Chain A
Amino acid sequence: MPHKPPTQEELERRKIVGIHEETITDVSSSDYPHTYPGEDHSWDIESFKRNFRIEFHQNDPFEASFSLIGCDASIANAFRRIMIADIPTLAIETVFINNNTSVIQDEVLAHRLGLIPFKGGKEGLHKFLKWWRKPEDESQINNSYYDFNTVSLRLEVKCEHNEKAAAGETDPTKLYKHAHVYARDIEFCPVGRQEKYFSGDNAIAPVNPDILIAKLRPGQEISLSMHMHKGVGSDHAKFSPVATASYRLMPVIKIERPILGKDAEKFAKCFPKGVIGLEKVTKQEAAREGSGYEGHAGEVKAVVVDPMRDTVSRECLRHAEFKDKVKLGRRRDHFIFLVESTGQWESDAIFLEAVAHLKKKAQDLEKQVINMVR
């Protein structure tokens, strides 16, 4: 007996993760071959091309939000993980402290410096700068620093009394010079070809110049030089190009039976603002038999306006008056990404880099597998 192809409705239903009062259902995807009789779910690049979609919601340098629609969680998660842990950035890796008489201990100061995000010319950062590798022979370490793998920085601050301060002044920033050490006090020392790649607006500088590094009092001094290297987030979080890179599944709110009048207003309050709207029941709707709106023309009804803003709090499931009237769920193949850059990369470029990175990984391993068989 030939199997009937699944209806559009059935295909939609399969994509929904059910969210009930106390439980969740249909968590795992089922779009694999041999799962449904008579249905072919084998990998096909053409059908992937047809069904896969990306929609942008926001695209700013420091924050980008977009939806990947029609791909599996394993793929979306790979991109997310790569964005956090595998995209290289430049950060302070070594701090050479000449003098530090501040109250901040050397190691704490070095750690704070390492976490400061830096920006610079994109071409220089991504193409010109290469990895720095610690030489196996430790005595050769001073021969391992080149303009293409090390960026040198300096921080020289000395706190002194401010003679011009008004008598009776209590604000330390006015009473003393350099009472606060900020990220903007870090000085970039270009060498060799770095002049070409990192000059003017392209200079290596902290993304946020107002990051407070330390506080000083008269007579205290910080004098240090730093080396920046390229690194990845899996080695240390300071190398991660993103503050956050996360996704959530698209919420689905399905109003199964009419919610009217006062109930509709209460229903809207169960959700964040803008998720549920209130509309008047039209005469046509009221006239249609079996719609549930008969005789309610002119009353307000609850409609779903923007499910993307929902947090899926399940509040509406706690009230008896909405029982069996609403179904909550999430779309298993709709990933709403939020990527917040730390400033060295553009947010959208981080995602593109992650895609390229996964491709490179697969490419390298394909060669490895061929080499293994040989």
Chain B
Amino acid sequence: MPRAKSKKEEPVEAGSDVAMEEAPPSHQPESRDDMSVDQDENGDAEDVEDEEMDEDEEEEEVQRVRLLPGSTPTAASFEFLNEGHTLGNALRYVIMKNPDVEFCAYAIPHPSEAKMNVRIQTFEGTTAIQALEKGLRDLQELCDVVSDKFIDARERFAASGSS
């Protein structure tokens, strides 16, 4: 909303470029502001294109993870579609193993809805989203180890059986 307002004002305040530098830093992403100052129309066109591309990607693969409203950087709830206890409990375990995580839990609010919620609260220094990403990465590492060890054990068992 504030961005649209600033764009409207720009053509009116023609000489405001110099004043802008002294102005207090905006909450808008800087790169976007710079773009819109120099080449307003091009910048707009690119924005539209970007949005369209995002939508296309989402159509190809449905976005199954959502940040639930009311979250702060260090305390957030996520909603997973089409996931259940299988991933929920395993993910909860690895996230709880992260020392920067103060609290982690999962819930399936209603059994007839294919939804699984994960709540993560972290200490200062990391964010809930980072903790979630780390949890998913740790889970992949864990699977690699289990897989390797399983193949090793199977080979050892086959060797001991034949001798």
Q: What is the interface of chain A, defined by CB distance below 8 A to chain B?
A: 32-34, 40-43, 45, 48-49, 52-56, 59, 66, 68, 71-72, 74-75, 77-79, 81-82, 85-86, 348, 351-352, 355-356, 358-359, 361-363, 365-366, 368-374
Contact: B99 with A42, CB < 8 Å? Answer: yes
Contact: A355 with B64, CB < 8 Å? Answer: no
Contact: A52 with B149, CB < 8 Å? Answer: yes
B116 to chain A, nearest CB (A): 11
Contact: A373 with B99, CB < 8 Å? Answer: no
Contact: A49 with B63, CB < 8 Å? Answer: no
Contact: B141 with A45, CB < 8 Å? Answer: yes
CA distance A41 to B92 in the complex (A): 15
Of B2-10, B12-20, B39-47, B81-89, the one touching chain A: B81-89
**Complex partner residue of A78 from B90, B96, B138, B149, CB under 8 angstroms:** B90
B107 at the interface (CB under 8 A from A): no
Kindly state the interface size class of chain B when it binds its partner. 35 or more
Complex A-B: 14 CB contacts under 8 Å = A33-B96, A53-B149, A54-B149, A71-B142, A74-B90, A77-B86, A355-B146, A356-B147, A365-B83, A365-B87, A366-B136, A366-B137, A368-B63, A372-B65
B75 at the interface (CB under 8 A from A): no
Q: Mark B61-101, 1 if CB is under 8 A from A, else 0.
A: 00111110000000000101001011101111110111101
List residues of chain A with CB within 8 A of the CB of B98.
33, 42-43
**Supplied contacts A74-B90, A369-B133, 10 more A-B pairs, CB within 8 Å:** A33-B99, A54-B150, A56-B154, A59-B158, A68-B146, A75-B93, A81-B86, A355-B146, A362-B137, A368-B63
Contact: B143 with A358, CB < 8 Å? Answer: yes
Q: Mark B122-163, 1 if CB is under 8 A from A, else 0.
A: 000000010011001111111111110111111011100100
**Complex partner residue of A45 from B67, B83, B96, B138, CB under 8 angstroms:** B138
Contact: B153 with A56, CB < 8 Å? Answer: yes
CA distance A33 to B150 in the complex (A): 28
